[in-house]
Amino acid sequence: MSRLSMLDEAALRARLPMGTAIEAIHLALRSGLDPSADPARTVLPADHGQILLMPSLTPAHAGVKLVTVTPDNPERGLPRVQGVYLLLDALTLTPQLLLDGAALTAIRTPAVSAAAADLIAVNEASRLVVFGTGPQAWGHVEALRVVRPISDVTVVGRDGHRVADLVARCVAAGLRATSGTSDAVADADLVACCTTSRTPLFDGGKLAPHATVLAIGSHEADAREVDTATVARCEVVVEDVATALREAGDVIIPVDEGALRPGALIPLTALARGERRLDPSTPKLFKSVGMAWQDLAVAATVG
């Protein structure tokens, strides 16, 4: 076997601009991909966190991501999310590339959100509200700027110092940015929920009729970032209906409450392929749990 190439975070980011990652997601969505073909995410509970295993396969490549989530790691000076991604040739299953799994996730997750926003958000969307201050929060600012004319960013978070740091980063990138509260969603064109919260972040009744919400922070049936009012008002788009009904508390809880019909969920592929259209008079919610096909689509662009 030839020597396995390895890409750390810096090398991966150098070879994978955000625009390239977004286009990789668009191409996968339009290619005839069936997201339901992915095996269900394997979640192994550990004493201090979780170990996640996510494999996927296409005619050209195979890949598997192993990621760990350890909530107390930041207090130890370590990342909350760590892991590796192994890219293989589909014909021979020869390992081709080993990537930093956390860095890949930090790129592909906002790339998926941006690809979804490109399909569902109003073209003139310029006002972004971001909940959260971690890598995904900045990743979503970076990615959404690729697909929409973002000029104003409001950052909502619990840690004032981290909020100030993200605001400063946005300003340095040429954006008007400020800290704010959850009430800022009333003036938002786009709302990105990038937190570890297990309870709703804002009152969905305050969303503007043209707003688009992107919720990416959880993949557990009993955790959610958006409330039932948001779901009841919005057209709800998901990566895969069966996966959302298994892993997305933002969807599962309103279904259990009788506020959402499973049949009302709209697969992202149906929008990408022009098979469904959305109602411009209502807000939109894209709920992502993160799927293995997304990792493979993005990783294959650097393979």
3-state secondary structure of 178: strand
Whether 122-290 and 5-104+294-299 are alike in CATH topology: the answer is no
pLDDT at residue number 303: 74
Taking the CA atoms of 224, 201, 126 and 176 in sequence, report the sign of the dihedral they define. Answer: negative
Burial 235-268, CB ≥16 within 10 A → b, else e = bbbbbbbebbeebbbbbbbbbeeeebeeeebbbb
**How many CB atoms lie under 10 A from the CB of residue 165?**
15
pLDDT at residue number 204: 97
How far is the CA of 209 from the CAs of 51, 230, 250, 293, in angstroms? 39, 11, 20, 32
Cβ–Cβ < 8 Å for 51, 44: yes
CA atoms of 21 and 162, how far apart (whole Å):
27
CA atoms of 29 and 125, how far apart (whole Å):
23
pLDDT tens-digit profile, the chain (303 residues): 456 778 888 999 999 999 999 999 999 999 988 999 989 899 999 999 999 999 999 999 999 999 999 999 989 999 888 999 999 999 999 999 999 999 999 999 999 999 999 999 999 999 999 999 999 999 999 999 999 999 999 999 999 999 999 999 999 999 999 999 999 999 999 999 999 999 999 999 999 999 999 999 988 999 999 999 999 999 999 999 999 999 999 999 999 999 999 999 999 999 999 999 999 999 999 999 999 999 999 999 997
Instruction: Determine the longest span between alpha carbons in the chain, in angstroms.
Output: 58
- Residue type at 301 in one-letter notation: T
Q: Is 20 exposed, middle or buried (0-12, 13-18, 19+ CB in 10 A)?
A: middle
pLDDT at residue number 2: 55
pLDDT at residue number 1: 45
CA atoms of 151 and 160, how far apart (whole Å):
22
Q: Please give the CATH superfamily to which domain 5-104+294-299 belongs.
A: ornithine cyclodeaminase, domain 1 (3.30.1780.10)
Apex CA 54: angle with CA 48 and CA 59, to 5°? 170
CA atoms of 85 and 190, how far apart (whole Å):
31
Domain 122-290 has CATH 3.40.50.720: yes
pLDDT at residue number 5: 79
pLDDT in tens, 97-106: 999 999 999 9
Cβ–Cβ < 8 Å for 239, 54: no
How far is the CA of 121 from the CAs of 68, 228, 275, in angstroms? 32, 21, 17
The encoded tokens of residue 75 equal: 């207090």
pLDDT in tens, 127-174: 999 999 999 999 999 999 999 999 999 999 999 999 999 999 999 999
Alpha helices in the chain (DSSP H): 9-15, 18-30, 101-120, 135-147, 160-172, 228-233, 241-247, 249-256, 268-272, 292-299
Cβ–Cβ < 8 Å for 157, 133: yes
The residue with tokens 């997305």 is: 248
Domain boundaries, the chain: 5-104+294-299, 122-290
**How many CB atoms lie under 10 A from the CB of residue 43?**
14
Cβ–Cβ < 8 Å for 98, 4: yes
Q: Which residues contact 11 (CB under 8 A, 6 or more apart)?
A: none
